[in-house]
Amino acid sequence: MDRSVYIAMTGATQTMRAQDAVSHNLANASTVGFKSELSAFQSVPVLGPGQATRVNAVAEGIGEDQSQGVPLQTGRSLDIAVRGSGWIAVQAPDGTEGYTRAGDLQLTADGTLTDARGNPVMGNGGPINLPQSSQISIGNDGTISTVPLGQGPNTVAAVAQIKLVNPDATQLSKGSDGLLHMVGGGQADPDLTVRLSTGALEGSNVNPSSELVKMISLSRQYELQVRSIKTAEDDSDASTKLLQTS
């Protein structure tokens, strides 16, 4: 009985972990630039004495769905979306360089260009700081042009360029800050082939219908594991009664 309870308990615990991943995806179904997180049950050997064939099924993350999200036209000059593969470089809260697809950029009072979370957007020489301007435009190669405050449109000038990168997906891992980082640290080199769409954002690539189906399936698996625990308990009670009457 103890063994069956342990197996059912382990299964229920890992099913809850898988449900957490699905819930996280559903919660970010409308988050700009969000990539659906993938998870799967994997067989892990049981450490300690016993047969080598003994394994546990463990729910683990296996990366992200890198497919393109639905483009959303906004017309806002500071909204950008990466076309195809590639990432926008930003400065993470710990000072390292991170990468995101969320292009809803903001401008602080002191002229620092940031993402929606307040992380400074990186240029090829460091965080981008823009002068006071009456007009700001971003080219499809990340070049930022401005019209100085009080000047006419014929004074437009390029003042910075957003650092765009495109490292191999296997070189990236997601950090606790929600940004992607180079595995082992370091920085990705700029990629001049990455292109942007301006006045647009990339929507989340989460498929809510698919995630809901997964959630229902996992809920049924969880109920099955709990039912197995109850069955083991009933069997134990019945066995105890038989021993008491014998």
Strand partners, 164: 88
Burial of 115 (0-12, 13-18, 19+ CB in 10 A): buried
In angstroms, the CA 133 to CA 25 distance is 38
- pLDDT classification of 7: cutoffs 50, 70, 90: confident
pLDDT at 213: 95
Q: Is residue 239 over pLDDT 90?
A: no
- pLDDT classification of 66: cutoffs 50, 70, 90: confident
Q: In degrees rounded to 5, what are phi and psi of residue 21?
A: -65, -45
Q: In degrees rounded to 5, what are phi and psi of residue 52?
A: -70, -15
Q: Is residue 100 over pLDDT 60?
A: yes
In angstroms, the CA 187 to CA 190 distance is 9
pLDDT at 149: 82
Region 107-120: mean pLDDT is 95
* 3-state SS class at 234: helix
pLDDT at 141: 95
pLDDT at 54: 66
In angstroms, the CA 112 to CA 115 distance is 10
Give residue-wise pLDDT tens across range 137-181: 999 999 999 998 878 778 888 999 999 999 998 899 888 898 999
CA dihedral defined by 32, 37, 17, 10, rounded to 10 degrees? 180
pLDDT at 161: 96
Give residue-wise pLDDT tens across range 114-137: 999 999 999 988 999 999 888 999
Q: Provide the greatest CA pair distance for the chain.
A: 101
- The pTM (predicted TM-score) of the whole model is 0.77
Angle at 62 between CA 186 and CA 191, to 5 degrees: 35
pLDDT at 195: 96
Both structure tokens of 148: 């100085």
pLDDT at 53: 63
Give residue-wise pLDDT tens across range 184-234: 888 999 999 999 999 999 999 999 999 999 999 999 989 988 888 888 777
Q: How many angstroms separate the Cα of 88 from the Cα of each of 45, 46, 145, 189, 246?
A: 39, 42, 18, 12, 74
Q: Is residue 2 over pLDDT 70?
A: no
β 200-202/143-148 pair status: unpaired
Give residue-wise pLDDT tens across range 23-49: 999 999 989 989 898 888 877 777 777
pLDDT at 79: 96
Q: Which stretch of DSSP H or E encloses residue 219? A: helix 208-245
3-state helix, strand, coil split of the chain in percent (to 5) is: 30, 35, 40
pLDDT at 64: 82
In angstroms, the CA 178 to CA 181 distance is 10
Angle at 114 between CA 112 and CA 115, to 5 degrees: 170
Give residue-wise pLDDT tens across range 73-83: 999 999 999 99
For 110-199, list the strands marked E by DSSP.
113-114, 122-123, 126-127, 133-138, 143-148, 157-161, 164-165, 172-174, 180-182, 195-198
Region 95-107: mean pLDDT is 95
Region of residue 128 (phi > 0: left; psi between -120 and 50: alpha; otherwise: beta): beta
